[in-house]
Structure 1
Amino acid sequence: MVDFPRCRVATWNEVDRWADEIAAQIRAVDRIPDTIVGLTRGGWVPARVLADRLAVKRLVSLRAQHWGVTATPQGKAELTEGLSSSVAGGNVLITDDITDTGESLALALEAVHAQGPKRAESATFLHISHARHKPTYFAEEIPKESWVWIVFPWNYWEDLGTLGTRAREINPSLEEIGKVLRERCGISIPAEHLEHVARLQGWE
């Protein structure tokens, strides 16, 4: 039987609200960083959005890998690319979109601390309550029992492609794929979006 996670499609309006909330928290304690480390891939857009709100000019990347395809953990989290630039002596904020298991963020903090920053804090838009690591700042906490896979705007088409491919194993018609996603994942996808995914994925 094909497995499907319950999902929630996040909107850009929510992203704006989450970013505003985190920026307000940081300003309230007067801890604006001079460097933001975006944990790629999921934390890169949050890094840029927060940099804009906090007037931070310096962005550094660090790549961790844990989740493989949509809602499927890929073994133990690991860093696959190191920091793109030194953060030694800096006031650093590490960003990701969500702390799900929290393992990736914990590894990122270890990597940053190893370079001797003046301060290292973390921020995620969403935080799952059972995560191993709790970020310094987050906009919304989701109880463990309410866990769903968040389809962020920056991985919308990728996630739809993965979920749609699973749904095609049940029935390959776009109408039925949409029905499966509604009933099994709890998300309603416009027909034109399914058509676009079909073109991207090369479904026959």
Structure 2
Amino acid sequence: MDKDFTARIVGLSEVYEMAYKISDQITESSLNFDVVIGIARGGFPPARLVCDFLNIKTLTAVQIKHYTGAKEHKEVDISDPVDIDLKGKNVLIVDDVNDSGKTLIAAVDHVKSLDAGEIRTAVLHEKSNTSMKADFVGDYLDDWRWLIYQWAATEDLLEFLNDDNMLSAKNEEMRQHLSDHYELDVSTDLLKKVLAMKRNYLR
């Protein structure tokens, strides 16, 4: 199999620093928000960190299906809308990565439809190919790479290995395959934990 794309694992310490950077930008902007909305699932962990840094007590979520693992759906679908009153409230929408921009556009349109006040967006990472720029960004990425956040490592790595018919291989062969095809450096311990959860995915 030829390598389709490169990937890297984003650890929790990096997420913490990017969330702090976003929060510092917001603090310096003097904007005040009443509600933080995390785009589920990936946006919820950084949204919680931002709430902590900015002392915002109201955190909710909107679930938007756009990516499943490393595969893109053609349509963006709001599968679980915001379920609290946003009328007149200033809202910060948070996601992990801004790739095509479609997810942010759908989230902003949804929040606008609920008569919110000021609406801003924040992401940990933003890729250069996006069609909608976020207002607050932790880091900008010029080279396209699939980002595997720590909270999605099991899902993504199992998908890579399953799609490449590598789940019956030895652990070291799996690690070498991930390195050769995706430039991923997966530790022995992480791979062991991922494989231990395999039964929850491949039923």
Same fold (TM over 0.5): yes
Gaps of 5+ in 2: none
Q: How many Å apart are 1:196 and its aligned residue?
A: 2.3
Amino acid at match of 1:178: R
Alignment deviations for residues 135-180 of structure 1 (CA, whole Å, 9 cap, x no partner): 111111111xx11010111111211221222343486222111100
Runs of 4+ off more than 6 Å = none
Asked if the contact 2:2/2:181 (under 8 Å) is kept, the reply is no
In structure 1, give the amino acid aligned to 2:84: S
Aligned to 1:23: 23
Contact 1:168/1:177 (8 A) holds in 2: no
Q: Which residue of the partner structure matches residue 77 of structure 1?
A: 76
Counterpart for residue 85 of structure 2: 86
Following superposition of structure 1 onto structure 2, how do residues 1-204 of structure 1 map, counting pairs within 5 Å?
1=1, 4-68=4-68, 70-143=69-142, 146-169=143-166, 172-202=169-199
Task: Please give the secondary structure, in 1, of the residue aligned with 2:197.
Answer: helix
Give the Å deviation of 1:108.
0.5
Q: Which runs of 5+ in 1 are unaligned?
A: none
Amino acid corresponding to residue 190 of structure 2 in structure 1:
H
Mapped contact 1:36–1:51 kept (Cα < 8 A): yes
Partners of 1:17 and 1:192 in 2: CA distance: 24
Instruction: State the 1:13 CA deviation.
Output: 1.7
Deviations 1:29-53 (A, max 9, x none): 1113110011111111111010000
Aligned residues: 200
Counterpart CA distance in 2 for 1:177 and 1:4 is 17
Residue 2 (structure 1) shift? 6.8
> Which amino acid is 2:189 matched to?
E
Amino acid at match of 1:136: D
Q: Distance in 2 between matches of 1:47 and 1:170?
A: 34
